[in-house]
Amino acid sequence: MSSGSRLAEPGTPPDPTVPATATATNTAAGTDASCGHPDGVHATARIRATYNGRVTTLPQLRSDGPFHLRRIRTGGRGATVGIIGAMSAPLGGDRLALDITAEDRAELEVTTAAATLALRGPTTAPATYDVRLTAGEHACLRWLPQQLISAAGSNLRQTCTVSLAATSRLLLREEQILGRADEEPGHLVSRIRVHRAGRLLLDQHTAYGDPAPGWDGPSVLDGHRAVGQLLVVDPELDADRAPVLLREGIKDGCAVLAPLAGGPALFATAVAPSSSALRELLDQALGHALGE
């Protein structure tokens, strides 16, 4: 598949002018800067939300490459942005980035309209997908994308770098599906790093799919193909609470919701045999986190 045939939807052509500097900061997030490929798509979409004293506005809503951004009218004080996949991405060699900022007192929710499918591209070089989330003082940011699916033969390095002010609130959910139905997954390497008020709150690195060693064994996934995290950061949260275990066995999936050390934050980790079972566990975890 050539990169030209990947224009699934008209109207949002990849922006060839996105300079390399837009992704140069990726190295700080742990991505090898050399993994781009001349045939790959280089794109950085940006969302910036501000609060005008009455409602949240979106002074920057910059679609790019596969990311077509659309404001969803919801009414109320906050803003919601949907990301619509404008092409099949990421493929091998792509360098994609999303830069999402909720400035002081803004309330922003960002979702994706459909699952993100990592596919094998014209090259076996890894694709990179870097999400940067920033929330200012008293801002509220919700990052709730649909699943990321690692298809056979794909090779993706994903980072999620979150920077929070001391008073900001965050809800983050990430779901990774290893392989479409009954296929071996591609190689999926992810790192999530969250700083709050300049201090490191969470740093997790995972590597699934061959050639990652030991990824499918009984100490990592034990055959499960869906894995996800949920993070709730809220200064008003009562994070000093006992861990919640969801399901006692491991065969049908299981999860734990527990406070992080550098809190006020609750973090859930879940594994499941399927994407629907995973979502169910994470929804339950969210219910517990919000005290429902």
Is residue 59 within 8 A of residue 110, CB to CB? The reply is no
**Burial call 222-235: b when 16+ CB within 10 Å, e when fewer:** eebbbbbbbbbbbb
**Shortest separation between residue 30's beta carbon and other proteins, angstroms:** 8
**Shortest separation between residue 260's beta carbon and other proteins, angstroms:** 6
Strand segments (E) across 106-248: 107-112, 116-118, 127-135, 140-144, 148-150, 155-164, 169-178, 187-196, 199-208, 226-233, 244-246
Closer Cβ to other proteins, 8 or 245, answer by number: 245
Is residue 172 within 8 A of residue 133, CB to CB? The reply is yes
Closer Cβ to other proteins, 70 or 205, answer by number: 205
Q: How far apart are CA 163 and CA 30, in angstroms?
A: 15
Q: Using the 8-state DSSP alphabet, how is residue 20 labeled?
A: T
**Shortest separation between residue 219's beta carbon and other proteins, angstroms:** 4
**Shortest separation between residue 248's beta carbon and other proteins, angstroms:** 7
**Shortest separation between residue 34's beta carbon and other proteins, angstroms:** 17
Closer Cβ to other proteins, 77 or 205, answer by number: 205
Q: Which residues contact 209 (CB under 8 A, 6 or more apart)?
A: 150, 178, 179, 184, 185, 186, 187, 188, 215
CA 180 to chain centre: 18
Closer Cβ to other proteins, 71 or 205, answer by number: 205
Three-state DSSP at 267 gives strand
Closer Cβ to other proteins, 33 or 207, answer by number: 207
Taking the CA atoms of the chain, what radius of gyration do you get in angstroms?
18
**Shortest separation between residue 282's beta carbon and other proteins, angstroms:** 12
Is residue 157 within 8 A of residue 129, CB to CB? The reply is yes
**Shortest separation between residue 41's beta carbon and other proteins, angstroms:** 28
Closer Cβ to other proteins, 110 or 255, answer by number: 255
What does the binding site for other proteins look like in residue numbers (CB under 8 A)?
30, 191, 193, 199-207, 212-222, 227, 243, 245, 248-251, 254-256, 258-262, 267, 269-271
Compute the Cα dihedral for 204, 210, 214, 215 and give only its sign.
positive
Closer Cβ to other proteins, 3 or 190, answer by number: 190
